[in-house]
């Protein structure tokens, strides 16, 4: 029996299976039964290692349900294993890393206590929305990026004079890293969001760089796609060629994929941190390196 077990949360089963193969670990499957009132009953099948367990579970919608399931899996693993690493490919609640408006609860602080209390000794996330959130954790935490994996995918495509674009200034560093690895130029649009209404405004300073080029809009996550849609519409006015979207986490809520395509995006490419039609980029090797 392997000295390491990979325990798969139902929402991350494919990624967990790939990871278990990469690190030659026991694969432990979980079955979920949801009662009419919304409670989850989790049953595990497989051998849990006494030395080390790795729980793989993304916390995407329904976020609260998946969070409780993740904590339950960690707690169960800790009953047998002396060390439990929680791999949370998509970390829900990472937006709430500080008190933006008076009275707001810093949910990442709560999560830090919950993961520790459940028995996790280390947390690994992929492209967490805000690294500041980990400052609230008292256990070891590590963020890895899917950018090299995404770049590898885009290098296989025949793009015309490609340009990497960040939909806002906040993602400028991400676009810079992507462009360096992809060996291309990059620009960052300017986005303003009203914190109370959520309304978005986007402007472009480097309009002259866009015409007749294939563009890769790079973001960490896409929820409703509002920013991507507005950015695409603005870039299309500048006479660009095709627009691709590269993101780590494709939540794609409320028919977002359909709306993004309607705005003129050729293809959405995302990592398998969240399973779905667009999740064509595997990050199991990147996660494996962070564990070993």
What confidence tens digit (pLDDT) does each residue in 48-70 have?
Answer: 999 999 999 999 999 999 999 99
**Could you give the 3-state DSSP secondary structure of residue 122?**
strand
User: Is the previous residue joined to 151 through a cis bond, with omega within 30 degrees of 0?
Assistant: no
pLDDT score at 85: 98
pLDDT for 201-243, tens place per residue? 788 887 888 999 999 999 999 999 999 999 999 999 999 999 9
Q: Tell me how far apart the alpha carbons of residues 11 and 25 are, in angstroms, rounded to a whole number.
A: 19
The catalytic position among 52, 57, 122, 191 is 191
Output the 3-class SS for 32-89. EEECCCCCEEEEEECCCCCCEEEEECCCCCCHHHHHHHHHHHHHHHHHHCCEEEEEEC
Average pLDDT over residues 153-176: 95
Q: What is the pTM of this model?
A: 0.93
Give CA–CA dist 142/291, Å, rounded. Answer: 10
- Contact between 25 and 262 under an 8 Å Cβ cutoff? The reply is no
Strand-pairing partners, residue 179, are: none
State whether residue 195 is helix, strand or coil: coil
The full set of domains in the chain, from first to last, is 4-145+283-291 (3.40.50.2020), 147-272 (3.40.50.2020)
191 is a catalytic site residue? yes
The pLDDT of 257-267, averaged and rounded, is 97
Q: What is the pLDDT of residue 284?
A: 98
Beta strands in 65-204 (DSSP E): 83-88, 122-126, 140-144, 163-166, 185-188, 190-193, 200-203
Which residue in 128, 93, 89 sits closest to 6, CA to CA? 89
Instruction: Please give the Cα distance from 147 to 150 (Å, whole number).
Output: 5
Reduced DSSP (H G I as helix, E B as strand, rest coil) percent helix, strand, coil of the chain, to 5 = 35, 30, 35
Under the banding of pLDDT at 50, 70 and 90, the label for residue 151 is very high
Q: Is pLDDT at 45 greater than 70 in this prediction?
A: yes
pLDDT at 208: 85
- pLDDT band for position 272 (cuts 50, 70, 90): very high
Beta bridge partners of 43: 31
pLDDT tier at 196 (50, 70, 90 boundaries)? confident
pLDDT: is 209 or 150 the higher one?
150
With a CB cutoff of 8 Å and minimum separation 6, the contacts of 127 are: 143, 144, 145, 146, 147, 220, 221, 248, 249, 271, 273
Residue 261 in this model has a pLDDT that exceeds 60: yes
d(C-alpha 5, C-alpha 224), whole Å: 35
pLDDT at position 206 is 77
pLDDT of residue 273: 98
Q: Smallest Cα–Cα separation from 260: which of 243, 238, 239, 248?
A: 243
C-alpha span between 139 and 162 (Å, rounded): 41
Q: Which of 103-107, 160-164, 205-209, 239-243 has the lowest mean pLDDT?
A: 205-209
Is residue 253 over pLDDT 70?
Answer: yes
Nearest to 290 by CA among 126, 76, 73: 126
pLDDT at 1: 53
∠ CA 29-271-133, nearest 5°, is 85
pLDDT value, residue 213: 96
Burial class (CB in 10 A: 0-12, 13-18, 19+), 1: exposed
pLDDT score of 67? 97
Query: Taking all residues of the chain, what is their mean pLDDT, rounded to a whole number?
Result: 94
When pLDDT is cut at 50, 70 and 90, the band that residue 26 belongs to is very high
Nearest to 16 by CA among 56, 45, 52, 67: 56
């Amino acid at each position: 029996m392997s000295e390491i077990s990979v325990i798969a949360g139902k929402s991350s089963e494919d990624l967990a299976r790939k990871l278990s193969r990469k690190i030659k670990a026991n694969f432990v499957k979980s079955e979920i039964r949801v009662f009419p009132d919304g409670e989850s009953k989790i049953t595990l099948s497989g051998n849990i290692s006494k030395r080390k367990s790795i729980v793989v579970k993304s916390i995407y919608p329904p976020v609260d349900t998946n969070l409780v399931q993740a904590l339950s899996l960690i707690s169960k693993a800790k009953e047998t294993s002396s060390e439990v690493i929680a791999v949370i490919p998509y970390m829900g609640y990472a937006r709430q890393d500080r008190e933006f408006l008076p009275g707001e609860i810093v949910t990442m602080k709560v999560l830090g206590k919950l993961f520790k209390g459940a028995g996790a000794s280390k947390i690994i996330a992929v492209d967490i929305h805000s690294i500041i959130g980990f400052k609230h954790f008292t256990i070891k935490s590590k963020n890895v990026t899917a950018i090299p994996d995404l770049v590898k995918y885009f290098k296989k495509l025949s793009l015309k004079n490609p340009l990497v674009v960040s939909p806002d200034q906040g993602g400028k560093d991400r676009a810079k890293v992507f462009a360096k690895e992809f060996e291309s130029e990059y620009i960052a649009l300017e986005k303003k969001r009203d914190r109370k209404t959520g309304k978005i405004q986007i402007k472009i300073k480097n309009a002259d760089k866009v015409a007749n080029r294939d563009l890769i809009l790079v973001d960490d996550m896409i929820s409703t796609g509002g920013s991507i849609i507005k950015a695409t519409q603005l870039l299309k006015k500048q006479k660009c060629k095709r627009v691709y979207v590269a993101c780590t986490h494709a939540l794609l809520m409320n028919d977002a994929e359909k709306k993004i395509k309607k705005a003129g995006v050729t293809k959405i490419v995302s990592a398998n941190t969240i399973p779905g039609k667009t999740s064509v980029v595997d990050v199991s090797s990147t996660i494996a390196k962070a564990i070993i």
